A and B are shown apart, each in its own frame.
Chain A
Amino acid sequence: MDLRFDRLGDDAIGIALAPRYQTVTGPEVDVERTWLDTFDWRLHGNGQQLLLAKVGDEVRLEFESADGHKLSAAAARLRLPASVDALPPGPLQEQVSAAAGIRALTPTAHVQCMRREIRLLNDDDKTVARLRVEHLSGHDRLFTVSALRGYEPDADRIRVMLGAIPGADRNERDLYDEALRAVGRHAGDYSGKVDLQLDGDRPAEETVRLVLDDFRVTLEANLPGVLSDVDTEFLHDLRVAVRRARSTVKLTGDVLPHVVSELLQSELKWLGDLTTPTRDLDVYRLSLAELAQHLRAADASDLTPFRHHLEARRRAELRRLVRGLRSRRFERVLNSWATLSNGDNPRLTGHGTTAELARARLGRAHRRVVRLGSTIDQDSPAERLHDLRKRCKELRYLLEIFASLHDKSKRRGAVQVLKGLQECLGDFQDSEVQRLELRRFAAEMMETGTTPPATILAMGELAAQLHTVQQRAREEFLDTFQTFMKDRNQHSFAQLTGWSPG
């Protein structure tokens, strides 16, 4: 429990505690707190907090886990935004890294105040608790009593003694929450997941506009991170927003005016194509370390020139992407997207309710998956599996979009079984795309005439690995699809779409 006082004199603390504790007051220091989290609040999601605290000349990272355990580390040279690799090595970095993964740490809120620390000593001159006094604004001062392990009864007693001082209030406010509110934010205000609360009775057209607007907001939220290249996941989330929007237009766009859906369809395709090369290179860079671990004949270090090549290519592709995202065309796409979502001239007639739309389109998307999947056998060309993957994605997006209309447990069953199928198809297609790309990269690097033969050989081994992964995925496909088609799994879909497998 923290206490907040208004107009409390310094002497009052010493007098209130004097019967049992001596106080040793530290110097007043300027404190700047900058809270850090990943853009998608991974630390907050784990109940953790990370703070960059500048106290006087000292800069430290302070980490608190969900169970209240605290870690700190000196961080004088940390520049923000920072990848977890830039944190000082040690337990704090390990904890943050486990939660943040590949995402960068970005500032979420900032507070500046003056602070004094008062140590409270027992008869042996041992510190038994710490009292932190912070001048927040005006006369508002925050008193935080920190218990030391093994001396908790002292901290409790101190809180009671301080609480008895006239003017003390229990502090119900959290400093981090206040700092976030001051900049118009709240913890968890961004998530890459679709979280739409739809009304089944609402006209379908209105809902489609609302859904598309949600994807536009996600895209715009990620745009600065892509332009500044903060971490790879900004582009990932931006692309997912574009793909979800494309699928929405494709699968439900007929409820919108034809000219609008036509325009969005072509412009979203352009946007998807614009972002693909950089993302493909990101995927390669992120998976290279894992792929290199499985090399047998070659050494992981043989791939260093390949890594450099990927990085050089990515720098070039990123420049092209940034030009595209700063172009007039992109501006026009966003403007027309925003206008559409604002609901200019909605017709709101003739397309039924949202619930009817959800049932019909989920049913159609599901039937497409069943129909196409049932025609695939061991000898089917790769393109058929790629097509099926696209149909599965469309079905998944619809399940996500209309999630709030469905019973959670029924939907979970359908998503689980679809996810299994998507993973198998993903392994199949990703390994093929990566293998073909690898040939192209090898050709480019050979042309330079400076690539060591060991690198090309190692890349050949990577290609063989990818081929094995693809073969395995194909072998597993029939079993995975059979699982998907099991009665109990199809029943999950039937409950969402009203479709009967019989």
Chain B
Amino acid sequence: MKLVATYNIKGGVGKTSTAVNLAYLAAREGQRTLLCDLDPQGAASFLFRIKPKVKGGARALVRRATTAAAAIKATDFDNLDLLPADFSYRNMDLELDSQKKSTRRIERLLRPLADEYDVVFLDCPPSISLVSENIMQAADALLVPLIPATLSLRTFEQLTTFVAGFDGRRPAILAFFSMVDRRKRLHRTVVEEMADGRPNIARTVIPAASVIEQMAEHRAPVPVFAPRSPAARCYDALWAELQRRT
């Protein structure tokens, strides 16, 4: 089972849309795929029309190994399941903090699912907290969407330094530019300069496209309702690159 987390300390950078589209593409090619919506806002659950509700909430999820498996729901798509969000996840930090080995709890709760899934996507809430540290400890790969702004580089470097400080196993990090508007000179410049000489920044760039925004309207991944759109092709390329490089 491979764990891929979409993570960024900032919100609104394309974490959920990336997790949803890549999870869909993994499932479409036959991989048994689970998407865990760990963000209390529940955007991924909304996109798949699944109620953001887990029996017992964050407390049960953190404390009982059986909760996750029981809460999983099938999406409308073959091979793709979802662990829904729950509003109580806003308190997940507190629940994790009350447990032993508090930075490894999410890894432990996902372990029983190893036989059921080939790939698990973790859609993380925007923050740097015990939840995000858990996720980084559990993940095999961190997929980091970056908006093309100068400050993104600083955020990304903070993240790589933080991960480098882990004892033992560290996730592979692959960042990519998201919401890129090629018409803007700043975007073009940042993408070119930041990608240059940084092997952990993907070649694939996800554009700022209205078709991605329309996911909320269609409540479906982009390749479902706009399979020939440039955005769908970019997600295809990103998924291929992620598999190749991590």
CB contact list, B39-80 vs A, under 8 A: 48-51, 71-74, 76, 78-79
Give the shortest distance, in Å, between B202 (CB) and chain A (any CB): 23
Q: Say yes or no: B49 contacts A126, CB within 8 Å.
A: yes
Binds B, one of A88-96, A245-253, A336-344, A493-501: A88-96
Return the CB mask of B101-140 against A: 1 if under 8 Å, else 0.
Answer: 0000000000000001010000000000000000000000
- The answer to the question of B95 belonging to the interface, with a C-beta cut-off of 8 Å to chain A, is no
- Cα distance, A125 to B29, chains bound together (Å): 25
> When A71-B79, A72-B79, A124-B49 are in contact, do A92 and B74 touch as well, CB less than 8 Å?
no
> When A149-B73, A150-B74 are in contact, do A90 and B49 touch as well, CB less than 8 Å?
no
Q: Say yes or no: A73 contacts B30, CB within 8 Å.
A: yes
- Cα distance, A91 to B79, chains bound together (Å): 11
Q: Say yes or no: B73 contacts A150, CB within 8 Å.
A: yes
Determine the interface band of chain A, counting residues with CB < 8 A from chain B: 10 to 19
Give the shortest distance, in Å, between A221 (CB) and chain B (any CB): 33
- Which among B48, B74, B219 is the interface contact of A149 at CB below 8 angstroms? B74
Give the shortest distance, in Å, between B47 (CB) and chain A (any CB): 11
Cβ–Cβ < 8 Å partners of B76 in chain A: 119, 126-127
> When A126-B76, A150-B73 are in contact, do A88 and B30 touch as well, CB less than 8 Å?
yes
Q: Say yes or no: B78 contacts A72, CB within 8 Å.
A: yes
- The answer to the question of B81 belonging to the interface, with a C-beta cut-off of 8 Å to chain A, is yes
- Cα distance, A362 to B72, chains bound together (Å): 59
- The answer to the question of A148 belonging to the interface, with a C-beta cut-off of 8 Å to chain B, is yes
Cβ–Cβ < 8 Å partners of B118 in chain A: 91
Give the shortest distance, in Å, between A132 (CB) and chain B (any CB): 13
> When A126-B49, A150-B72, A150-B73 are in contact, do A71 and B30 touch as well, CB less than 8 Å?
yes
Give the shortest distance, in Å, between B106 (CB) and chain A (any CB): 20
Residue of chain A at shortest CB distance from B51: A124
Q: Say yes or no: A90 contacts B50, CB within 8 Å.
A: no
Cβ–Cβ < 8 Å partners of B74 in chain A: 148-151
Residue of chain A at shortest CB distance from B84: A150
Cβ–Cβ < 8 Å partners of A71 in chain B: 30, 32, 79
Q: Say yes or no: A72 contacts B30, CB within 8 Å.
A: yes
- The answer to the question of B204 belonging to the interface, with a C-beta cut-off of 8 Å to chain A, is no
- The answer to the question of B31 belonging to the interface, with a C-beta cut-off of 8 Å to chain A, is yes
Residue of chain B at shortest CB distance from A94: B118
Cβ–Cβ < 8 Å partners of A150 in chain B: 71-74, 81
- Cα distance, A127 to B50, chains bound together (Å): 10
Give the shortest distance, in Å, between A57 (CB) and chain B (any CB): 15
Q: Say yes or no: B30 contacts A90, CB within 8 Å.
A: yes
Return the CB mask of A79-94 against B: 1 if under 8 Å, else 0.
Answer: 0000000001011100
B contact set with A: CB distance below 8 Å: 29-32, 48-51, 71-74, 76, 78-79, 81, 116, 118, 219
What are 7 residue pairs bridging A and B, where the CB atoms are less than 8 Å apart in the complex? Answer: A72-B78, A73-B29, A91-B118, A125-B49, A148-B74, A150-B81, A151-B74
